Structure 1
Amino acid sequence: MAKGSFSDLIAGEKPTMVDFSAEWCGPCKMMAPILDELKSKIGDTARIIKIDIDKNPQAAAAYGVQSVPTLILFKKGSPVWRQSGVVPTEYLKRVIDQHA
């Protein structure tokens, strides 16, 4: 990932849910269908992006991501919510609705 592109992704008006994950992480694999379902429920309300911490250690380090999966919701470039672990679709939708 080019320097600056991550900050460009999270800088917009639209909330951006970032899924910090890793290939070797079992719970991260459980998040994939949850995030797919979330995307179908929120449509264009927010963006969802996945960051592999092994391929983008600087992004993970910048936000103090110690465990995966860690979800962080950004709005205008600032984190407004974060949680580690597997999180249900409906809960994530409520979080996004609060910040949309």
Structure 2
Amino acid sequence: MSPLIAILILVALVAVVTAIGLWGRARAAGPRAARADAIAEEIVPADVRGDAATLVQFSTQFCGSCPGVARTLRALAENGVGVAHVEVDITDRPDVAAQLHILQTPTVLLLDRDGVPVSRLTGAAPRSSYVRELSRLLDAAPASVTLPA
């Protein structure tokens, strides 16, 4: 094989792998629709859910970005009327991770007032992603619940 062909194959391989990596990163960073099953009562009890929305963060003890995401979500919950933040440590709960198909932490589920997931964000998404998803849910809510800017 000539050196030129080998270099062209190598460049093509690097380009394909880079494109796949960028596509995967973009897909993971944005919100996804969540399955419409209600979250089990033993995972997020009704008495800790918000009246309008609940931000459920699934974390582990070894997650480096989980504390920062928790601070962001706590601030959003404190500023949003009827919004609650619940953190679930799945370090010793592989059953919860399997049931909800959680493969990465932090994973955040946005629940409506009935405990049904409406959005799922995986990884340390920017604050604007959480605000956008929460605003979208609150704007669709029949009650006049608002989220301060």
Q: Please, what TM-score do these two structures have when normalized by structure 1?
A: 0.77
Given candidates 36, 52, 77, the residue that maps to 1:39 is 77
- How big is the alpha-carbon RMSD for the aligned residues of Structure 1 and Structure 2? 2.4
AA partner of residue 95 (structure 1): E
Cα distance in structure 2, aligned partners of 1:29 and 1:46: 19
Segments of 4+ moved more than 4 angstroms: 10-13
- Rg: which structure is higher? 2
- Once the two structures are overlaid, the 10-residue window that deviates more, 17-26 or 52-61, is 52-61
Please report how far the alpha carbon of residue 16 of structure 1 lies from its aligned counterpart in structure 2 after TM superposition.
1.4
Residues 48-91 of structure 1 show CA distances to partners (whole Å, capped at 9, x for unaligned) of: 10010113332222210011011111222322100111123332
- Ranked by relative contact order (alpha carbons within 8 Å, sequence separation 6 or more), the top structure is 1
Alignment of 1:1-100 (within 5 A): 4-6=41-43, 8-9=45-46, 14-42=52-80, 44-75=81-112, 76-100=114-138
Task: Provide the aligned length of Structure 1 versus Structure 2.
Answer: 97
SS for the counterpart of 1:6 is: coil
Cα distance in structure 2, aligned partners of 1:77 and 1:62: 16
Contact 2:59-2:90 within 8 A present in 1 as well: yes
- Percent identity (aligned): 27
5+ residue gaps in structure 1? none
Cα distance in structure 2, aligned partners of 1:82 and 1:74: 9
- Once the two structures are overlaid, the 10-residue window that deviates more, 4-13 or 48-57, is 4-13
Higher relative strand content: 1
AA partner of residue 69 (structure 1): P
Q: 1:59 to 1:36 in 2, by over 3 A?
A: same
Cα distance in structure 1, aligned partners of 2:116 and 2:104: 20
Q: Please, what TM-score do these two structures have when normalized by structure 2?
A: 0.55
